[in-house]
């Protein structure tokens, strides 16, 4: 049987051990909190420095950076901000976006690209829009980036008025007087076709041989089979962008006035200067299409 002294000594030893454990835990906890605070401060600093280093103009391409990092993180880009953003750890990327005022999620996979292109191709077939040139793994779309990234968007004009208003959708429009011609841009012709035959399912197309499918009309006007590959790639990007918008509109009855897509990435005030920029801008359209699809399926 233990004596009173031995019991007291044992209790003191146990209490001392517990105190040592508690002190050690407190020191560890405080150290961890300090490390976390220091790390958090460093993340905030690195993000702030990134934003400052890229000035007022280049920083506008942050939405493009999100796409570039999600799709081609290890690719050497022409635009410096793409490379610099790609090199940041994910937590600093998120902090950069937060400090810059963008509520975007980082992109974790690229399945939405092929899914979006396939949906566009199916849409064009369903509504008889013509040949999209999206075959052989959508090679001409991706070649715009792989082979012609340095090509300048300023060398091309998607608003050329080269298309006859065969449907008469814009007949008598005051816009014609302002632009000085009755002819339409490709976008205008596609819109007239969409409004007439997709949204309203007008039967005129079946009886009027003068009406040409918009994509086939573009192919004929721009001579896709003989033009150089760079120009073809430009127009394929335009086709993907235009049809992405039409697919999205069709899901919502033709109009997007009240449609809000959670996580939608918008180019904002940044304009694409090269095919590299434009490629990522068009991928934004496909990405937003995938986000909207998730909402529509719920």
Q: What token pair was written down for 31? A: 């150290």
Of the candidates 52, 49, 83, the one whose C-alpha atom is nearest the C-alpha of residue 65 is 83
Q: What token pair was written down for 37? A: 């605070």
**151 within some domain:** yes
**87 within some domain:** yes
pLDDT tens digits for range 30-63: 666 666 778 889 999 999 999 999 988 999 999 9
Strand, helix or coil for residue 106: coil
**Residue 163, strand partner residues:** 184
Same-domain check for residues 95 and 211: no
pLDDT tens digits for range 155-210: 998 788 999 988 888 887 777 767 778 889 999 999 999 998 888 865 555 456 67
Same-domain check for residues 17 and 129: no
Same-domain check for residues 90 and 207: no
**271 within some domain:** yes
More confident residue, 97 or 19: 97
**106 within some domain:** no
**95 within some domain:** yes
CB 273 within 8 A of CB 154: yes
* Spatial distance between the Cα atoms of 156 and 186, rounded to a whole number of angstroms: 13
CB 238 within 8 A of CB 134: no
Neighbours of 74 (CB within 10 A): 7
pLDDT of residue 32: 60
More confident residue, 176 or 132: 132
**62 within some domain:** yes
SS3 content of the chain, % helix, strand, coil (to 5): 65, 0, 35
* Spatial distance between the Cα atoms of 39 and 296, rounded to a whole number of angstroms: 40
Buried b / exposed e along 107-145 (16+ C-beta atoms within 10 A): beeeebbeebbebbbebbeebebbbbbbeeebebbbbbb
Of the candidates 173, 254, 171, 167, the one whose C-alpha atom is nearest the C-alpha of residue 204 is 167
Same-domain check for residues 164 and 286: yes
More confident residue, 209 or 287: 287
Kindly report the average pLDDT of the chain as a whole number.
87
Task: Single out the residue in 74, 99, 124 at which a domain terminates.
Answer: 99
Same-domain check for residues 65 and 135: no
pLDDT reading at 246 higher than 60: yes
Same-domain check for residues 61 and 132: no
Of the candidates 287, 240, 238, 242, the one whose C-alpha atom is nearest the C-alpha of residue 261 is 287
pLDDT of residue 177: 66
**130 within some domain:** yes
Distance of CA 246 to the CA centre of its chain: 16
Task: Single out the residue in 99, 120, 146 at which a domain terminates.
Answer: 99
Task: Single out the residue in 55, 77, 99 at which a domain terminates.
Answer: 99
Same-domain check for residues 188 and 162: yes
Of the candidates 120, 87, 101, the one whose C-alpha atom is nearest the C-alpha of residue 289 is 120
pLDDT of residue 189: 94
- DSSP character for 196? I
Q: What token pair was written down for 198? A: 């997709």
Of the candidates 46, 132, 147, the one whose C-alpha atom is nearest the C-alpha of residue 95 is 46
Q: For residue 135, give its domain range.
A: 111-297
pLDDT tens digits for range 74-90: 999 999 999 999 999 99
Same-domain check for residues 89 and 119: no
Same-domain check for residues 48 and 126: no
What's the alpha-carbon Rg for the chain, to the nearest Å?
A: 29
Same-domain check for residues 263 and 161: yes
**105 within some domain:** no
Same-domain check for residues 176 and 206: yes
Same-domain check for residues 78 and 119: no
Q: What is the count of structural domains for the chain?
A: 2
More confident residue, 210 or 92: 92
pLDDT of residue 4: 72
């Amino acid at each position: 049987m233990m004596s009173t002294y031995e019991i007291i000594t044992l209790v003191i030893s146990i209490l001392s051990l517990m105190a040592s454990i508690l002190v050690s835990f407190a020191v560890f906890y405080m150290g961890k909190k300090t490390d976390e605070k220091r790390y958090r401060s460093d993340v905030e600093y690195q993000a702030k420095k990134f934003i400052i280093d890229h000035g007022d103009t280049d920083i506008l391409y942050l939405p493009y950076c999100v796409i570039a990092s999600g799709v081609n993180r290890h690719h050497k880009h022409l635009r410096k901000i793409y490379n610099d953003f790609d090199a940041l750890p994910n937590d600093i990327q998120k902090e950069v976006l937060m400090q810059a005022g963008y509520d975007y999620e980082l992109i974790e996979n690229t399945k939405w690209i092929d899914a979006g292109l396939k949906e566009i191709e199916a849409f064009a077939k369903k509504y008889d829009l013509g040949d999209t040139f999206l075959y052989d793994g959508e090679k001409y779309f991706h070649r715009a980036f792989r082979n012609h990234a340095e090509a300048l968007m300023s060398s091309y004009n998607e608003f050329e008025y080269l298309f006859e208003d065969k449907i008469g959708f814009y007949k008598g429009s005051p816009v014609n007087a302002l632009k000085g011609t009755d002819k339409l841009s490709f976008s205008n012709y596609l819109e007239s076709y969409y409004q007439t035959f997709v949204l309203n399912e007008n039967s005129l197309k079946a009886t009027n041989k003068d009406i040409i499918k918009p994509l086939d009309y573009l192919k004929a006007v721009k001579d896709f089979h003989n033009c150089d590959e760079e120009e073809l790639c430009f127009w394929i990007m335009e086709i993907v962008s235009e049809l992405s918008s039409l697919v999205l509109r069709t899901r919502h009855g033709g109009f997007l006035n009240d449609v809000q897509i959670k996580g939608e990435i918008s180019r904002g005030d940044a304009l694409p200067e090269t095919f590299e920029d434009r490629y990522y801008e068009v991928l934004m359209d496909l990405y937003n299409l995938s986000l909207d699809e998730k909402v529509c399926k719920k």
